[in-house]
Structure 1
Amino acid sequence: MLIIFIATLFGLGSSFTATDNLGQIGEVLGYKPQAINTFVSLHSIWNFFGQILSGFTSEILLMKYKIPRPLMLTLALILASFDYLFIVFPFHGSLYFASVIIGFTLRLQLPLCVTIIYELFRLKHYALLLNFSQLISPLASYILSVKITGALYDKEANKELHRLGLQRRASL
């Protein structure tokens, strides 16, 4: 359960962080507001498809090809990792691909996690383990989006202010 928790914590956390900052990433890369709205729309559409297809696809791959769901979760995390390369090493239109893959893999992960917990542990303590797995989403978002990414943003903003000869003032 600890392996599932850690893998999902960082997988969901990184997807939530990329989702939360998609607009800012688009601005930094020079996309127009209309394009950024398109990224958000693509993200939402593929988020839906990820949720729907996780059930159908995982069942078909399990029954027909005997591919276990933990391997499917691993492949979803690897796909999400390649997606972040589109953001780190951008090319023209790369954020379109990134928003699609982020949306798809974000909603692919959680249903797989819930199903994996059932398959590994069956109904013994299922409610407790399910609630524990549901805790991952807000915890991942808080740790990676607020604590880590927020701290990095603040550090870079302070560097930029210092470079411009300005000081940060406390807001009222």
Structure 2
Amino acid sequence: MKPKQKGQNSQFIKAVEIPQELYQSLKGKYFVGYADELNFGKGTSTWARLYNPPNSGVNLHVNVWTVTDVSDSTFRAQFWFNATPSETPIDSEFVTPSNTAISPLPKPNIKLQYATNVLNEPTGGIKAFVRRAEPETTIVDVENGKFIFPPGGSFLVFLSNPETPDVVTSGRIAFGWWEAKI
């Protein structure tokens, strides 16, 4: 066995890389939630959004979104940035920090809101992209926090079924996000 020379290991730096999501969760800044029983069809649509209130003091970083459990109809999902929804939003009760080892549990500044059986598309903002899917298909994407919304901004997912408009159906929209203090 060859003896170590003085300073032989000094050129190496010990480092551990952790994913951004884990880092934010450890800080109590990562949240998950969903809106359930989002009914639409027969000329109506539905939506769910992450809304950053004007006085939140944080930027919203969208990490992941999921649309699931649309079982009776093909559907279209439109993704809107900073749009104004056509109906009065309801706050979802299904929101939690991902790190439940912190006491007391952190509370999000961001609101997960939704509306069902809406008649009109959102206004203002930007329709950033659109996805189409077959019944019983889950669509999901990991955005890695690259969708960033300041106070007053929002990320809205709008569901409709224009190819089968006479079919009544429902679905679920889920999100994962973190909040960065401004």
TM-score bracket relative to the smaller structure: under 0.3
TM-score (norm 1): 0.25
**Using CA pairs below 8 Å that are at least 6 residues apart, which structure has the higher relative contact order?**
2
Greater gyration radius: 2
More helix by share: 1
TM-score (norm 2): 0.24
